[in-house]
Structure formats: structure tokens, C-alpha cells
Amino acid sequence: MKASHTLTVATLALAISGVVNASSHREAPFITANPKVDATDFYAFRSYEEGREDYVTLIANYNPLQDPYGGPNYFSLAADALYEMHIDNTGDGVEDLTFQFQVTNELGNDGSGLTLAIDGKDMAVPLKNIGAVTSSNSDSLNFKESYALTMVKGDRRTGSKHVVKNAATGSGSFAKPFDNVGEKTFGEQAYADYADSFIHEVTLTGCPVGSQSGRVFVGQRKDPFSVNLGEIFDLVNTNPLGSTDGEADDLADKNVTTFALEVPITCLTNDNDSGIIGSWITASLPQVRILDPSPKNLQADVSAGAWTQVSRLGMPLVNEVVIGLPDKNLFNASEPKDDTQFLDYVTSPTLPVLLNALFGVTAPTAEGRPDLVAAFLTGLEGVNANGSVGEMVRLNTSLPVTDKGDQHNLGVAAGDVAGFPNGRRPGDDVVDAEIRVAMGLLCHLDLGLCDPEDAPSGDLAYTDGVTQSAAQFDATFPYLITPIGGSSN
């Protein structure tokens, strides 16, 4: 590590520890009506599975607040959507690489649907499965999902497209597991093995020769985000200076749908000198949707027209607690290169003033909030600044990996340079971090951004009362743990 990196990381240690463990569940008015394309969390980090340190893992979660018992239809993905992961490796806030996922849904029995012979007639069954399911036998599934993965170099819509191949079959199609409906379907403790069979080795045909191997998984996982969601959005109905583990995690019984992709570092960075990449995720829908008055099979509408972005996520909690209500839908439709249109929300934030009204703490007075500009829009000098101005997750791939057992949930703030805000790992506790940064924590560090007197309450240990750590996750890809089953007996 360069000396400048060491110095900056040390001075950041106390600051970032409480900045941002955020997620993006139901964050904007329009997206609440379209949960299948609602991005909830995004992670980007150097892989810490043993022997995989030359890879970056990207994890995008969608479809929030899934109740495990949510049958009979459970939580399929949108077949008319385009789910995307974007990489900026040139520091201009524009994607240089995009990984596009498109899902296909079909009925069982090769698309015709499972039937039972009743009174001499073949009657379609009402359920998505009618018997036990294993990795080797899915004949009883009446609903199956698969997906195609494409790597786009250059502009996401006009760049060159490269089909990502299934290394085992040579095809461009990948199977997705059925949701964890319960133990009678999958057998006690068997869902983990079933889901693992859907981790696919891939050939990244658009990457340089020698950097084309990777892995992908798309399927249901236990929601990795931890927060006392109800109390936080009930005017912070908790003690913000209380114990860091004294509250209940409202997402402890929820699942999400995960897109996990592991890509060689050399493919993502394109050998740029800094090794820093910016990344974010989106979901788009066709611009025109017409309801079908006589829907057939799985289709109830007809979609057409240009892809229109309806969901966006980089750094956590930005749209929830930074962007004003009138502009939340616009933020979800925008790109990092255009984020100067939201600059006032960062330089004149409302959250500190609201906390002042609720708890009497003093809002920071630093003009233009250069601390928040660095945290949200430019990255931190000596750590992950990449020259662009735009909201995204910035990851310095040249900084070392920290093994799972040695990770600190406060990341850089605790001297763990592989953690938040240098990317984001599943175990990084970012809610506490973001609240503290919003209240001026960076002004209390020797960063030259602002002074302690600019943030009189900036050194307080704000917390939502729910702890997140690496111990809650697996040490191997895709890192997020097995989803909760719909029944246990």
C-alpha cells in the first residue's frame, strides 16, 4: 500500500465507522408499484473467498421484503425487465462495461404446464410445484426461470455486446433456482445444496484473454440488510445514541432476490493506473405497457418501446434520506454523469436539520458540505476518489483483501481498508456510518474538508441499534446466506 493510502486510511478510521449501512427498500413512489425491479442493496468488493482475491464480486438485490411464506406465486423476476450492473473504469461517471441480465419465465412440462387427469380431462394445476424438488429432479416444478447474461462494452444501449457463456454447456442460458417454499418441497436442510447447484462457471467472452473466467448466481437469498426499519422511519423512534445492538432487526425474517457476479479484476479495471472503479446498478422497463384484456398463460400485458430506467442504486440510503420527495423518481431514472442536478440535496441536506428538530443535536454548518460531497459524489482522496463527480460505489482494487474472520464491520473507519466506503461488503455496517457522516463526522478528522467547529454534534456515536457483521454471512460465493423457508415442518 502506498504511504498516502496508509495516512488517509488512518485519519478516516473514526469517521467512516458510522456512515452508511443503508439499503433501498421501497425508496421512491413509483418503484413501490414495481417491486420486481426495486433494487434494495448493492455490494462491490474484492472477493475474500480463499484463492479468489484476483476477482471482484458484484451483488445486486431486488424485490424487497419477501415473506418466505408468500405463496402460491412467491417471488419471480420480471421477464420484461432489464437488470444491469454498470462499471466506470475511466473516471468520467459513464459506464464502460455493463452486465445485462434478462429473465425468461415459463410453465413446467416444456412450457405447456403440468396437468392432472381429472374426470377424463387434463386439468392444469394451480400451483408452481406439485411435489418434491431436488437439484437432479425438477419434474414437479410447474414454473421455471432462466436468464441470459450479456456484457456490453461502451454505452449500455449502443456498445458492443458479448454473450456470457455457461462454461459447462457452452450456451448463453443459465438456470435459476425455485424459491425456498419450505422443507416438504426441498427436504430438511436441503435447500442450500439445491441452490448451490445453480452457481454457474462462466466464460466472459468480452474480457481480455486470460481474464474470461468467472461465476454467476441468480436466486433467492436471506435479506442481508439489517435495520430497525419501522422505528427509523417513524421519526427515528429509537435512541440514536444507545447500544449498537439493542434493537430488533425488522428484516430478520425477510428474503430478497440476488444477482451475484464474480469477474476478474483485470477485466473490470481495463489496466487503469489507479485500479479504482465506480459501479452502480439499475433496472429498466419498456417505455410502453398495455394491459391485455384476455391474458394468456403468464402474460397479462404487452410491452414495447425503448428501455426506460426505473430503478438505480449505488451508495446506500441516498434516495431514502438525501434526495427530496419530488425528485425521488427522477433520481431512479438518472445516471451518475448527470448528478449535478441533485447537488443541492448534498450541499444543503435536510436530514441533519430533521435530526436537530427531533433530538436537539446541532446540524453541521460547513458551507457547501464538502464532507458530504466527498462521501457521496467524488470519493475520498487517497482511498477511492476516481476523478468523476457522481453517486456510485467506488472500489480501489489495489488495496488488499481482508479475510472474513478479520473483517471489521466499520471498514475503513476501523483500519480495515477492504471495507466500506472502499466498496461495500455484506458485513459492513453502513447505517450507523451514514448517519454519522451526515451529522459531520468527517469534519472531526484531519482531512481538510471542514473543521470540528463546523459540526458540533459530529463526533457523537449515532446508531440505529442493529449490528451488521461478516459473521452473518458465508465465506464463499455468493456470500449471502440461504433464504428462509416458507415452512419448517
Task: Report residue 414 as a C-alpha cell.
Answer: 476501523
Percent of the chain past pLDDT 70, that is, above it, reads 94
pLDDT surpasses 50 at 435: yes
Q: What share of the chain is helix, strand, coil (3-state, %, to 5)?
A: 20, 25, 50
Can you give the pLDDT at residue 485? 94
Residue 34, number of CB atoms within 10 A of its CB: 15
pLDDT in tens, 242-264: 888 888 888 899 999 999 999 99
pLDDT in tens, 4-50: 343 344 333 333 333 333 455 666 667 777 899 999 999 999 999 99
Can you give the pLDDT at residue 375? 83
Q: How far apart are CA 452 and CA 460, in angstroms?
A: 12
Can you give the pLDDT at residue 140? 94
Percent of the chain past pLDDT 90, that is, above it, reads 63
pLDDT in tens, 121-140: 999 999 999 999 998 899 99
CB-based contact 249:226 (threshold 8 Å): yes
Q: Which residue has the higher pLDDT, 240 or 52?
A: 52
CB-based contact 333:310 (threshold 8 Å): yes
* Phi, psi angles (nearest 5°) of residue 87: -125, 125
Mean of pLDDT over the chain: 89
CA distance to 61, 259, 285, 408, 475, per residue, from 144 (Å): 20, 17, 21, 39, 29
Closest of 208, 93, 198, 200 to residue 162, by C-alpha = 208
pTM: 0.91
Can you give the pLDDT at residue 3? 36
Beta bridge partner(s), residue 313: 281
pLDDT in tens, 219-247: 999 999 888 888 877 887 888 888 888 88
State the residue for C-alpha cell 473483517. Answer: 407
Q: How far apart are CA 209 and CA 195, in angstroms?
A: 30
pLDDT in tens, 288-331: 999 989 888 788 888 899 999 999 999 888 888 788 899 999 99
Residue 1 pLDDT class (50, 70, 90 cuts): very low
Annotated domain spans of the chain: 31-470
State the residue for C-alpha cell 455468493. Answer: 478
pLDDT in tens, 72-96: 999 999 999 999 999 999 999 999 9
Can you give the pLDDT at residue 214? 97
Can you give the pLDDT at residue 19? 36
Q: 479 by DSSP, 3-state: which?
A: coil
Average pLDDT value for residue range 101-106: 96
Q: Are strands 174-176 and 160-163 parallel, antiparallel or unpaired?
A: unpaired
**DSSP assignment, residue 78?**
P
Average pLDDT value for residue range 261-286: 94
- Asked if residue 72 has a cis previous peptide bond (ω within 30° of 0), the answer is yes
Can you give the pLDDT at residue 122? 94
Closest of 36, 132, 141 to residue 81, by C-alpha = 36
Closest of 271, 283, 304, 238 to residue 86, by C-alpha = 283
Average pLDDT value for residue range 265-283: 93
Beta bridge partner(s), residue 296: 299
pLDDT in tens, 160-180: 999 999 999 999 999 999 999
The DSSP secondary structure of 172-240, one letter per residue, reads: S-EEEPPP---HHHH-TT-HHHHHHTT-EEEE-TTSPTT--EEEEEEEEEE------HHHHTTTS-S-T
pLDDT in tens, 348-380: 888 888 888 888 889 899 999 999 898 888 998
Can you give the pLDDT at residue 228? 82
Can you give the pLDDT at residue 24? 59
Q: How far apart are CA 370 and CA 380, in angstroms?
A: 11
Can you give the pLDDT at residue 28? 67
